[in-house]
Amino acid sequence: MSEKFAGKQGPCPKCQTVITIPKLEEQVVVHAPPAEGTKRAAVDQKAFKPIARKETKVSALMMVAIGAGIMLVLGVALTLRFGLEDVPAGLLGVCACLLAPPLVWSGYAFLRDDELEAYRGNALALRVAICSVVYALMWGVYAWVPSLVLGVNQLELFHFLLLIPPIFVVGALAPLSTLDLDFGTGLIHFAWYVLITMVLCFIAGVDLVGAPPAQ
Protein backbone atom coordinates (compact mmCIF):
# COMPACT_ATOMS: atom_id res chain seq x y z
CA MET A 1 0.00 0.00 0.00
CA SER A 2 1.27 3.47 -0.77
CA GLU A 3 2.91 5.45 2.06
CA LYS A 4 0.47 8.38 1.52
CA PHE A 5 -2.34 6.36 3.15
CA ALA A 6 -0.32 5.61 6.32
CA GLY A 7 -2.23 6.57 9.48
CA LYS A 8 -5.53 7.25 7.69
CA GLN A 9 -8.91 5.57 8.16
CA GLY A 10 -11.30 4.18 5.59
CA PRO A 11 -13.97 1.55 5.01
CA CYS A 12 -13.01 -2.02 4.15
CA PRO A 13 -13.91 -2.70 0.47
CA LYS A 14 -15.64 -5.97 1.39
CA CYS A 15 -17.30 -5.55 4.82
CA GLN A 16 -17.40 -1.71 4.96
CA THR A 17 -15.88 -1.78 8.48
CA VAL A 18 -13.82 1.30 9.23
CA ILE A 19 -10.17 0.33 9.56
CA THR A 20 -7.07 2.31 10.47
CA ILE A 21 -4.01 1.93 8.28
CA PRO A 22 -0.84 1.63 10.41
CA LYS A 23 1.58 4.53 10.49
CA LEU A 24 5.00 4.16 8.94
CA GLU A 25 6.72 3.74 12.29
CA GLU A 26 4.25 1.00 13.24
CA GLN A 27 4.95 -1.16 10.23
CA VAL A 28 6.54 -4.55 10.73
CA VAL A 29 9.40 -5.16 8.36
CA VAL A 30 10.01 -8.80 7.44
CA HIS A 31 13.52 -9.40 6.23
CA ALA A 32 14.25 -12.06 3.66
CA PRO A 33 16.52 -14.92 4.82
CA PRO A 34 20.21 -14.39 4.08
CA ALA A 35 21.42 -15.88 0.85
CA GLU A 36 23.51 -19.03 0.96
CA GLY A 37 27.21 -18.34 1.13
CA THR A 38 26.92 -14.92 2.80
CA LYS A 39 28.66 -14.07 6.04
CA ARG A 40 25.36 -13.88 7.97
CA ALA A 41 24.30 -17.31 6.68
CA ALA A 42 27.62 -18.75 7.80
CA VAL A 43 27.17 -17.28 11.28
CA ASP A 44 23.62 -18.67 11.57
CA GLN A 45 24.71 -22.13 10.50
CA LYS A 46 27.53 -22.10 13.03
CA ALA A 47 25.15 -21.00 15.79
CA PHE A 48 22.82 -23.93 15.17
CA LYS A 49 25.54 -26.53 14.75
CA PRO A 50 25.11 -29.21 17.46
CA ILE A 51 27.77 -29.45 20.14
CA ALA A 52 29.89 -32.54 19.70
CA ARG A 53 29.72 -34.90 22.68
CA LYS A 54 32.76 -36.84 23.73
CA GLU A 55 32.24 -40.56 24.05
CA THR A 56 33.63 -42.26 27.14
CA LYS A 57 34.55 -45.87 26.47
CA VAL A 58 36.28 -48.50 28.54
CA SER A 59 39.73 -48.82 26.99
CA ALA A 60 41.97 -51.88 26.92
CA LEU A 61 44.15 -50.30 29.62
CA MET A 62 41.11 -49.91 31.86
CA MET A 63 40.18 -53.55 31.30
CA VAL A 64 43.70 -54.65 32.24
CA ALA A 65 43.57 -52.48 35.38
CA ILE A 66 40.20 -53.96 36.33
CA GLY A 67 41.52 -57.48 35.79
CA ALA A 68 44.60 -56.77 37.90
CA GLY A 69 42.42 -55.33 40.64
CA ILE A 70 40.21 -58.43 40.63
CA MET A 71 43.23 -60.70 41.00
CA LEU A 72 44.55 -58.52 43.83
CA VAL A 73 41.35 -58.59 45.87
CA LEU A 74 40.96 -62.32 45.31
CA GLY A 75 44.47 -62.80 46.66
CA VAL A 76 43.65 -60.68 49.72
CA ALA A 77 40.42 -62.64 50.33
CA LEU A 78 42.25 -65.97 50.16
CA THR A 79 44.93 -64.63 52.50
CA LEU A 80 42.29 -63.64 55.03
CA ARG A 81 40.61 -67.04 54.77
CA PHE A 82 43.73 -69.06 55.44
CA GLY A 83 45.65 -66.53 57.51
CA LEU A 84 43.02 -65.49 60.08
CA GLU A 85 40.56 -67.60 61.99
CA ASP A 86 38.17 -64.66 62.46
CA VAL A 87 38.37 -61.54 60.31
CA PRO A 88 38.02 -58.44 62.53
CA ALA A 89 35.05 -56.18 61.89
CA GLY A 90 37.33 -53.16 61.53
CA LEU A 91 39.27 -54.85 58.74
CA LEU A 92 36.02 -55.73 56.97
CA GLY A 93 34.96 -52.10 57.19
CA VAL A 94 38.24 -50.94 55.67
CA CYS A 95 37.88 -53.48 52.86
CA ALA A 96 34.30 -52.34 52.18
CA CYS A 97 35.50 -48.74 51.88
CA LEU A 98 38.48 -49.60 49.66
CA LEU A 99 36.42 -51.77 47.32
CA ALA A 100 33.62 -49.24 46.89
CA PRO A 101 35.34 -46.61 44.67
CA PRO A 102 36.58 -48.97 41.92
CA LEU A 103 33.27 -50.86 41.90
CA VAL A 104 31.25 -47.65 41.78
CA TRP A 105 33.41 -46.27 38.97
CA SER A 106 33.35 -49.48 36.92
CA GLY A 107 29.60 -49.83 37.37
CA TYR A 108 29.08 -46.24 36.23
CA ALA A 109 31.29 -46.80 33.17
CA PHE A 110 29.09 -49.70 32.04
CA LEU A 111 25.63 -48.53 33.19
CA ARG A 112 25.60 -44.79 32.52
CA ASP A 113 23.18 -43.30 29.99
CA ASP A 114 25.02 -42.80 26.68
CA GLU A 115 22.69 -39.89 25.86
CA LEU A 116 24.08 -37.88 28.78
CA GLU A 117 27.49 -36.29 28.96
CA ALA A 118 29.76 -38.43 31.15
CA TYR A 119 31.27 -37.03 34.34
CA ARG A 120 35.04 -36.67 34.27
CA GLY A 121 37.91 -35.47 36.41
CA ASN A 122 37.19 -33.94 39.80
CA ALA A 123 33.42 -34.00 39.28
CA LEU A 124 33.49 -37.76 38.71
CA ALA A 125 35.91 -38.36 41.60
CA LEU A 126 33.70 -36.43 44.05
CA ARG A 127 30.52 -38.20 42.97
CA VAL A 128 32.16 -41.62 43.10
CA ALA A 129 33.50 -40.83 46.58
CA ILE A 130 30.06 -39.81 47.91
CA CYS A 131 28.39 -42.88 46.40
CA SER A 132 31.16 -45.12 47.78
CA VAL A 133 30.68 -43.81 51.31
CA VAL A 134 26.95 -44.56 51.12
CA TYR A 135 27.61 -48.07 49.81
CA ALA A 136 30.12 -48.86 52.56
CA LEU A 137 27.74 -47.48 55.20
CA MET A 138 25.03 -49.89 53.99
CA TRP A 139 27.28 -52.80 54.96
CA GLY A 140 27.71 -51.17 58.36
CA VAL A 141 23.94 -50.93 58.73
CA TYR A 142 23.57 -54.61 57.82
CA ALA A 143 26.32 -55.67 60.22
CA TRP A 144 25.43 -53.67 63.31
CA VAL A 145 21.71 -52.84 63.29
CA PRO A 146 20.63 -56.43 64.18
CA SER A 147 22.83 -56.61 67.27
CA LEU A 148 22.73 -52.98 68.41
CA VAL A 149 19.09 -52.14 67.59
CA LEU A 150 17.25 -55.44 67.35
CA GLY A 151 19.33 -57.24 69.97
CA VAL A 152 19.84 -60.43 67.92
CA ASN A 153 23.01 -62.35 67.10
CA GLN A 154 21.60 -64.60 64.38
CA LEU A 155 19.63 -63.27 61.44
CA GLU A 156 16.30 -64.89 60.63
CA LEU A 157 14.06 -64.45 57.59
CA PHE A 158 12.13 -61.69 59.37
CA HIS A 159 15.31 -59.70 59.90
CA PHE A 160 16.26 -59.99 56.22
CA LEU A 161 12.81 -58.74 55.21
CA LEU A 162 13.23 -55.84 57.63
CA LEU A 163 16.77 -54.88 56.63
CA ILE A 164 17.27 -55.64 52.95
CA PRO A 165 14.54 -53.46 51.31
CA PRO A 166 15.56 -50.17 53.02
CA ILE A 167 19.24 -50.89 52.38
CA PHE A 168 18.64 -51.45 48.67
CA VAL A 169 16.38 -48.40 48.39
CA VAL A 170 19.06 -46.17 49.92
CA GLY A 171 21.69 -47.90 47.79
CA ALA A 172 19.72 -47.21 44.60
CA LEU A 173 19.15 -43.56 45.55
CA ALA A 174 22.89 -42.94 45.97
CA PRO A 175 23.85 -43.32 42.27
CA LEU A 176 20.55 -41.70 41.26
CA SER A 177 21.51 -38.50 43.08
CA THR A 178 25.26 -38.54 42.37
CA LEU A 179 25.76 -40.24 38.99
CA ASP A 180 22.46 -39.41 37.25
CA LEU A 181 21.40 -43.06 36.98
CA ASP A 182 17.69 -43.77 37.10
CA PHE A 183 16.31 -45.75 40.06
CA GLY A 184 16.27 -49.11 38.28
CA THR A 185 19.81 -48.73 36.95
CA GLY A 186 20.92 -47.44 40.35
CA LEU A 187 19.50 -50.60 41.91
CA ILE A 188 21.58 -52.70 39.51
CA HIS A 189 24.62 -50.52 40.26
CA PHE A 190 24.27 -51.09 44.02
CA ALA A 191 23.56 -54.80 43.51
CA TRP A 192 26.85 -55.02 41.56
CA TYR A 193 28.73 -53.72 44.62
CA VAL A 194 26.83 -56.00 47.01
CA LEU A 195 27.36 -59.08 44.84
CA ILE A 196 31.12 -58.59 44.48
CA THR A 197 31.62 -57.90 48.18
CA MET A 198 29.46 -60.91 49.14
CA VAL A 199 31.52 -63.20 46.88
CA LEU A 200 34.73 -61.87 48.43
CA CYS A 201 33.31 -62.38 51.93
CA PHE A 202 32.44 -65.96 51.03
CA ILE A 203 35.98 -66.54 49.71
CA ALA A 204 37.44 -65.00 52.88
CA GLY A 205 35.23 -67.22 55.07
CA VAL A 206 33.23 -64.37 56.60
CA ASP A 207 29.87 -65.33 58.14
CA LEU A 208 27.27 -62.88 56.78
CA VAL A 209 24.38 -64.36 58.72
CA GLY A 210 25.76 -64.69 62.22
CA ALA A 211 26.90 -62.10 64.73
CA PRO A 212 29.36 -59.37 63.69
CA PRO A 213 32.99 -60.52 64.04
CA ALA A 214 34.88 -59.45 67.11
CA GLN A 215 37.28 -56.57 67.04
The 10s digit of each residue's pLDDT in 34-77 is 555 555 555 555 444 554 445 555 566 666 766 666 677 667 66
Question: In b/e form, how buried is each residue of 95-132, taking b as 16+ CB within 10 angstroms?
Answer: bbbebbbbbbbbbbeebbeeeeebbeeeebeebbebbb
What is the chain's alpha carbon radius of gyration, rounded to the nearest angstrom? Answer: 32
DSSP letters spanning 62-99: HHHHHHHHHHHHHHHHHHHHHH-SS--HHHHHHHHHHH
Question: Could you tell me which residue, 134 or 115, shows the higher pLDDT?
Answer: 134
Please say if the pLDDT value at position 173 is more than 50: yes
Please say if the pLDDT value at position 12 is more than 80: no
pLDDT at residue 112 in the model: 87
Domain limits of the chain?
60-204
Distance CA 41, CA 18 (A): 42
pLDDT at residue 17 in the model: 75
Question: Could you tell me which residue, 204 or 111, shows the higher pLDDT?
Answer: 111
**What proportion of the chain, given as a percentage, has pLDDT over 70?**
60
Average pLDDT of the segment spanning 130-138:
93
Please say if the pLDDT value at position 128 is more than 90: yes
Q: What SS3 class is residue 9? A: strand
